[in-house]
Structure 1
Amino acid sequence: MSAVRAALRISRRNAWRSRGRSALIMTMIALPVLVITAFLTFAMTAEVSPQEGMGVVLGTADARLVLVPEDTTLRQTPNGAVSNTDGERATAPERTADEVAALLGPGTRLLPFSTGVLLLGAERVEALQTDLRDPLTRGMLTLSAGRLPAAAHEVVVTSAFGLRPGEVLRPSGTAPLTVVGVVEHPYRPSLLKVAGLDLPLAPAEEPGPMGEYGTGWLAATTRPVSWADVPELNSAGLYATMPAMLTDRAIYTYLNVQHVVGIGAMVIMVVLETVLLAGPAFAVGLKRRRRELALIAAQGGSPRHLRTIVLADGLVLGGAATLVATPLGIGAGALTAHTLARWGGQVGPLEIPWPPVLAVAALGLLAGVVAALVPAIQAARQDTATVLAGRAPEVTDRPGWPLAGAVLVLAGLGAIVVARRQQDTVWVFAAAVLVLFGLVVLTPWLVRRTGWTAARLWLPLRISVRDAVRHRSRTASAVAAVMAVTATVVAVGIGAYSEYMDRRNAYTSARPTGMLAIWGGNVGDAAWTRLRAEAARQLPGVPLAAGYHARDAQDHRYALRYTVRWNGTRTRRTAAIGDEALLRLLQGRHDPRAAAALASGKAVVFDAAALRDGKLALRASSTSGPARTFEVPAVLATPADEHQGGALLPRALVESAGFTTVERQLYAMHRLPANSTLWRDLAKVASRVSVASEEGYRNLPDPGLWGWLGGALVLVVGGTLAATRLAAADLRPERATMAAIGASPSTLRVVVAGQALYISVLGALMGLAAGAATGVALSRPMTTRGAGDVATIAVPWPFLVAVVVGLPVLATAVALLTRTSPSPTRRFP
């Protein structure tokens, strides 16, 4: 029998004989594998690829065509869509079905549709107006109960409504709609959506991606629609979606330096975390097997044989752990994706990214072997006579390790300072690995240095800390594991929250929060007069300020724009045209200086960076006329909101530049109720009308931060408890002695829980220091867009408290539930 085969048999029998310790080791190896595999599976399953989502968009049609807003210059390319608008929500230009069909060739059949929202009291739900009985819509929604709408005022609803056929929907301001069927969305089970032949649609609250909302057609053509047809469709004001977007798009996969560095850093972190978690268990296992290994050595076993036996432990237990963790991770990821989808996300068919999943499993196996490497070296070096005599081997610290750890930490911090000036965050993470390695090397020294705190502690905690310091090889590994997890989560938390705050600070608007805007587009004078009167009737007692459009001698409509940098981002604004009433709304008060400047024919500007020597440079652009640039005199004023920019031009100034002005806008400081029907009422007077309310910045911080907290919870609490169980096993003689002299069970539990508290608190504090440095460095590439741009640094205090305080408290609370009944200890005289 070969030595390797014999070592594997010995390891298998030893693992079965010490099932508790083996389960702990497998848990420590399996935890990172399970968490990462679950995350990879969840990410792939929750992501709906364009191929998977094309059926919802197209049905069985050959193309989907959506009318874009007027005054929009649209150009689609295989790499995306580029559009330039004047910033207003104008209505789509008129196009007939015959004109659109002619663009796609003879034999084209069109099915009209419209997408928007339906107002149900205070709620706005997605709505689709089309004939779902048409074969072109097959795959967009799946009927699960009842039938499809066949007449006006009949609708189908998604199952998330909880309605059944025969019940009634009551939209705001219109006749009730009868539910005749229930449908399922292919990949959004929580979506609230209504579909029918004739719906009282309102525009979406947010514009959304180009082509998502609006009016258009599903087209069945006699030939495939290709990219060669797109320029003509764009010129006609149509946004096209077709299968060629997927089949014709060139996809390149490559590995550049950043990818290689990122993958390398991830591999190192996975192996390091697994080794730190499993290492103490192997060390305790070696302590219990010293006599067995010494007997093998006494019978002729060489140091190489002893190393092979201990390494075989890592291979057997690591292999078993990955075999269990991989399918569990896949199942957990799939279950999480489907569960979150019912709470508001989306989910596609189960997708398992086998290459990275198998790579993670291989890393788990490798980490098991690496975790057993240090105990294997110790086993090969142990003195056989000392072990057989029952004397404990002398444990000494390596004097050069603290210095080496300090050098690594300083080198890592220096690398972080350099890496933060790079545009890719992967360099910061790579530099942070050096800091983590340095702290891992420093951890035994820090554990020994914190031993002085035991003298000031309550007796049970004093015993816990002294035992942790005495067995610092076991303790240091667990502390370092907690430190590595905490550092990663803290760094990601600070970086992600800084990015959120930067985006919030970068938010800007040309109107103050709470302002209502009504645009008439290119309606005629008579239609505008009726529209204005209807707006005044619908908003009784609300002061309305007029806004104006600029037109040239050929009656071409022009937008007067300027460009400014706001929070490091190049922003293009459209200047408003109006009088003192509009200025008062934009400033939220009466400003005599600004009002006097406006009356004298000067522009009032709210962007200080846009002024140059008292001048504002404007560009007049139109979709039907030549563009030109000119400068106007301007003064700086203070707007109503801190995030607000823009400029107001007096009519006289615009007319002196060669334009005429016509009133086509109304503004008011007024918040519409959630069930308002203002847009629908105004659309009855003039179809080419848009209504918008400025609501301010409403995005929330990334909820994925709490997902990171959940992963940290599993690793920190799991790793701490495993280390605590190992400590409890080592403390068995001391606990037996304490019980013999009258210690209560609660005191014994506190001794064990004190180990968890010490490990988790020290690891969390070290992780906080390392993670804070990394997070601050991450904030620069995540929040800057070029040289000279100032980085945004924001600290998510509730999140950090949950990580640095909450996790140790939770780990300690769970450790208090550890069974502490001491077993009798046999003592020799």
Structure 2
Amino acid sequence: MSALLVALRLARRNAWRSRGRSALIMVMIGLPVLVITGVFTLTETMSVTPREGLVAELGAADARLVQTPEGTVLQQQPNGASWNTSGGDYEAAAPELGAAKVAALLGPGTRLIPFSTGALRLSTERVDALETDLRDPLTRGMLTLSEGRFPAAREVAVTPALGLRPGDLLRPSGEAPLTVVGVVEHPYRPSLREVVGPDLPLAPPDGFLSPAEYGPGWLADTAKPVTWADVPALNTAGLYVTSRAMISDFEPRALVRFSLDVPRTVGLGAMVIMVVLETVLLAGPAFAVGLRRRRRELAEIAAQGGSAGHLRTIVLADGLVLGGAATLVATVLGIGAGVLGASIMARWGGQVGPPGVPWPPVLGIAALGLLTGLVAALVPAIQAARQNTAAVLAGRAPAVADRPGWPLVGAAAVLAGLGATVVARRQPDSMWVLASAVLILLGLVALMPWLVRCTGRPAARLRLPLRVSVRDAVRHRSRTVSAVAAVMAVTATVVAVGIGANSEYMDRRNAYTSARPTGTLAIWAGTIGDTTWNRLRAETARRLPGVPLAAGYQVKDAQGRRYALRYTVRWNGIRTRRTIAVGDQTLLRLLQGRHDPQAAAALASGKAVVFDASAVRNGKLALRAGSTSGPARKLEVPAMLATPADEYQGGALLPRALVEQAGFSTVERQLYAMYRPPADSTLSRDLAKVTPRVTVASEEGYRNVPDPGLWGWLVGALVLVVGGTLAATRLAAADMRPERVTMMAIGAPPGTLRMVVAGQALYISGLGALVGLVAGTVTGVALSRPMTTHGAGDPATIAIPWPFVIAVVVGLPILATVAALITRTRLPLARRLL
């Protein structure tokens, strides 16, 4: 039997004998593999290719055609489609083409059935609707009948997400009720809320939508395939086309074009190194525990003729067996979790296709996990080959000597990483900062033995339990360094991510700006006549009884062309274009949220009231009057700076007299009110009945919230820091067994023995957290610049999330210490030589 097979058998038996340690190693190696494999599988499963979605799109038909509004310029190509409407209106009653004309365009032998997509307006909501006859063979496979039957005239089928059953009634707004006779399921969209029937009162969409999704049309059974050669003529007739032949003709080519994206390649390499480094440092102490327990067994093998290479092979076999088992289990679980997660997420929204596994990246991640297991066992394997056989058999602890050159190498790497970070901070891509952070972490890992030795010097001033813990940690640096470096790497990564994410959130919050206070309802009308505007204003007053309305005015020139008055300012480093409002004292009071006598007097005297300090220069405001149909003009008007209602609010208000002095006319076409419409408000649809040229907008303020994933990083750090610390503490407890037995023999209470073990946990996690705080802060501050700057001269936003940082740097070491303090540490009877 070869030495490798013997080593694998020994590794398998040892892994089964120490099941707890083996499970810990497998979790640390397999967890990254499981997560990454699950994400890859989930993404692949939730992406439905055009060929996979062909049945749901076309059923058994050869093509689907959608009629676009009159005046639409449509052009489809294999790489996409473009359309532009210059007067089309979905409120037009019927398509321009009839079924007979469409059939003639497709050639003899064509059969068409209606197939229109739109929306059904219910009492409180709009739901997607499909108007077609599911009993026709052309629709076979589009929707699967799960309950009841397919609908006939004045009947509908619904998807399960609507929560209706056969026999229920569906009541469209202003229409006769429809009877639900069936429940149908979409092949790839389980969360779809849709009503299907052969004659539905479809409501027009709010504006022009994509013809690939909405619009009246037909399914076609043709005598010959509809190819890309037929598309231009159909587009000219106003038909958007989807056909089997078009999708089949445009298949991705087998040749893969490799494009070298340097920043992303560097970032990917940095992340791979970080994952391998973190896993190796975390699993290293656990492998060291195994080496400590097997030291005598290995010494006996060496005494019987085993070479240093044999001992290395035996320990590396541990990494191969545990890494291979962890990778295999994690890959299988990751694939299963990805497929299951895709089906669950699709019920919340989105789509799910047939289970798909991207094998090249998944196998690459599996190989990386196996390599990680071998690398994690490499240092213990080298230590096993170098151990003194006589000393181990005599029960003496081996002496550990530091390599004098490592501190210099580590210091050089740290300095090089700091220099690279300074340079990378100026780059627009944050990947360079991450690459520099990897260099800093590798340098700190090389420096860690020196740091451990230096921090052990003040141990004489500590109380007895902590003094014993620190001195033992310094004496056994081979196991201490790996654990401290693992905690350091975790802390540095989490702190850097926390600072970068919080800085980006604060920058987004600071960058938010509005021209109106929070809670403002704005109603604008386009080019309409006075009669229509009066009806719109009356309808608004009727729908909002008792709500004060402030008027705004539209600006026109002598020829009746609409103009917009604008100015540009820099807000939080971003060039922001503001549109000026024109109004009176009522609108000024709404924009300021109070009565400001000075601002009111300035507006009454013919001055602009401005809320952006940087826009006013020498008492003047520079404006640009622009129009889509007229020449642009530049204006400079007297201005006064005032305070708005909200701190993030900008903009300006001009009196009508000042605008008219510049040669323009004004006409009331805007209404403002401090009013928040309820969620089920139909105000927009009701006003659109008066004129479709109305726009209703509500200012909700800054609604974004801090990224909850930040605290998910804290949970991950909790598992890694506490798990790695307890593994190292367990090894320390095994190495300190003679000292603890001696302390117990001379009368040390159990609490003192527990404090010695907890002191090891506090030292390992505390030192790692402090060093990681420094490294993470440097990287986080550097990350904040590419993540928050928007151009030259824009200062970076640096926001440290103090509660998060304190929880990581202080809370996790305390938690690891408490966990070690309550961990049971039994002491077996020791044999003494007299």
Interval of TM-score (by shorter of Structure 1 and Structure 2): 0.7 to 0.9
Alignment of 1:29 with 2:34, yes or no, is: no
Q: Distance in 1 between matches of 2:242 and 2:361?
A: 32
| Contact preservation (8 Å) 1:190, 1:341 | yes
Residue 446 of structure 1, aligned match among 435, 441, 451: 451
Structure 1's 539 and 147: CA in aligned 2 closer, same or farther, altered over 3 A? Answer: farther
Equivalent residues in 2 for 1:386-535 (5 A)?
A: 386-451=391-456, 464-535=469-540
Counterpart for residue 582 of structure 1:
587
Give the whole-Å Cα distance in 2 for the aligned partners of 1:279 and 1:147.
Answer: 63
Could you give the per-residue CA deviations for residues 493-550 of structure 1, whole angstroms, max 9, x where no partner exists? 2212222222222222222211111223344332221221121122222221222334
Q: How does 1:32-181 map to 2 (within 5 A)?
A: 32-45=32-45, 62=64, 95=92, 97-99=94-96, 106=105, 111-115=115-119, 120=124, 127-131=127-131, 133=133, 144-145=146-147, 156=158, 158-159=160-161, 164-165=165-166
Shift of 1:792: 1.5
Question: Is it true that 1:631 corresponds to 2:635 in the alignment?
Answer: yes
Partner of 2:334: 329
> CA shift at 1:774, angstroms?
0.9
Mapped to 2, the partners of 1:50 and 1:711 lie a distance apart of 38
CA contact (8 A) 1:32 1:273 kept: no
Please say if residues 103 and 232 of structure 1, whose CA atoms lie closer than 8 Å, have aligned partners that are also in contact.
Answer: no
Contact (CA 8 Å) 1:118, 1:200: kept in 2 or not? no
Q: Is the partner of 2:266 in helix, strand or coil?
A: helix
The aligned runs of 1:646-657 (5 Å cut-off) are 646-655=651-660
User: 2:109 maps to what in 1?
Assistant: none
Measure the CA separation in 2 of the matches of 1:34 and 1:711: 14
Contact 1:129 1:198 in 2 (8 A): no
The offset of 1:663, in angstroms, is 2.4
Per the alignment, residue 621 of structure 1 pairs with 627
Q: CA deviation at 1:436?
A: 0.7
Query: Larger deviation: 567-576 or 610-619?
Result: 610-619
**1:196-234: per-residue Cα shift (whole Å, max 9, x none)?**
84488996xxx9x9759997445657846799869989x
Q: How far off its partner does 1:611 sit?
A: 5.4
| Partners of 2:33 and 2:334 within 8 A in 1 | yes
Take 1:171 and 1:653, find their aligned partners in 2: how far apart are those partners?
A: 50
How many equivalent residue pairs? 810
Structure 1 residue 336: Cα displacement: 4.7
Partner SS, residue 98 of structure 1:
coil
Q: CA deviation at 1:368?
A: 2.2
Distance 1:261 1:403, change over 3 A: same
Matched-pair contact (CA < 8 Å) for 2:157–2:184: no
One-letter amino acid of the structure 2 residue matched with residue 440 of structure 1 = V
Q: Once the 2 structures are TM-superposed, how far is the Cα of residue 128 of structure 1 from its aligned partner?
A: 1.9
Mapped contact 1:119–1:675 kept (Cα < 8 A): no
Scaled by the length of structure 1, what TM-score is found? 0.82
CA distance in 2, matches of 1:719, 1:345: 38
Percent identity reads: 67
Stretch of structure 1 that moved more, 532-541 or 342-351: 342-351
Q: Which of 536, 544, 549 is equivalent to 1:539?
A: 544
Pairwise CA distance, 1:421:
0.6
8 Å Cα contact 1:210/1:239 also seen in 2: no
Give yes or no for the alignment of 1:275 onto 2:280. yes
2:29 is matched by which residue type in structure 1?
Answer: I
Establish whether residue 314 from structure 1 lines up as the match of residue 319 from structure 2. yes
Q: 1:718 to 1:152 in 2, by over 3 A?
A: farther
Whole-angstrom CA distance in 2 between matches of 1:458 and 1:536: 79
Structure 2, unmatched stretches of 5+, are 107-111
1:763 to 760, 763, 768: 768
348-357 vs 54-63, greater mean Cα deviation: 54-63
Q: What is the Cα deviation at residue 794 of structure 1?
A: 1.9
Q: Answer yes or no: is the 8 Å Cα contact 1:514–1:693 preserved in 2.
A: yes
Q: Which residue of 2 aligns with 1:641?
A: 646
> Counterparts of 1:230 and 1:715 in 2: how far apart (Å)?
63
Contact 1:132 1:148 in 2 (8 A): no
- Aligned 8 A contact 2:42 2:339 in 1: yes
The aligned runs of 1:187-226 (5 Å cut-off) are: 197-198=200-201, 211=210, 216-217=215-216, 220=219, 223=226
Q: Is the 8 A contact 2:285 2:724 kept in 1?
A: no
Q: Deviations over 1:768-793 (max 9, x none)?
A: 22122111111111111221111112
Rg larger for: 2
| Conserved 8 A contact 1:65-1:217 | yes
Q: Distance in 2 between matches of 1:827 and 1:163?
A: 80
Query: Deviation at 1:36?
Result: 3.5
Is the Cα contact below 8 Å between 1:38 and 1:330 reproduced in 2? Answer: yes
Cα distance between partner residues in 1 of 2:251 and 2:656: 50
Structure 1 Cα separation of the partners of residues 710 and 569 of structure 2: 33
The answer on whether the counterparts of 1:57 and 1:64 sit within 8 Å (CA) in structure 2 is no
**Structure 1 residue 127: deviation in Å?**
2.3
**1:566 alignment partner, one of 542, 547, 571:** 571
Instruction: Give me the whole-angstrom Cα distance separating, in 2, the residues matched to 1:167 and 1:818.
Output: 61
2:783 aligned residue = 778
Q: Is the 8 A contact 1:153 1:198 kept in 2?
A: no
RMSD: 4.8
Which amino acid is the alignment partner of residue 623 of structure 2? Answer: A
- Change beyond 3 A, Cα 1:169–1:115: closer
Aligned to 1:717: 722
Deviations 1:155-180 (A, max 9, x none): 84653x65655567899999999876
Per the alignment, do residues 650 and 182 of structure 1 end up closer, same or farther by CA in structure 2, a change over 3 Å counting? farther
Deviates more, 1:706-715 or 1:474-483: 706-715
Whether contact under 8 Å (2:69, 2:95) holds in the other structure is: no
Are the equivalent residues in 2 in contact too, given 1:118–1:202 (CA < 8 A)? no
TM-score by length of 2: 0.81
Letter in 2 for 1:618: R
Contact 1:91 1:690 in 2 (8 A): no
Deviation of the 1:384 alpha carbon: 3.9
Change (3 A) 1:728 1:795: same
Cα 1:41–1:769, aligned 2, differ >3 Å: closer, same or farther?
farther
Q: Which amino acid aligns with 1:98?
A: P
Q: CA deviation at 1:671?
A: 1.9
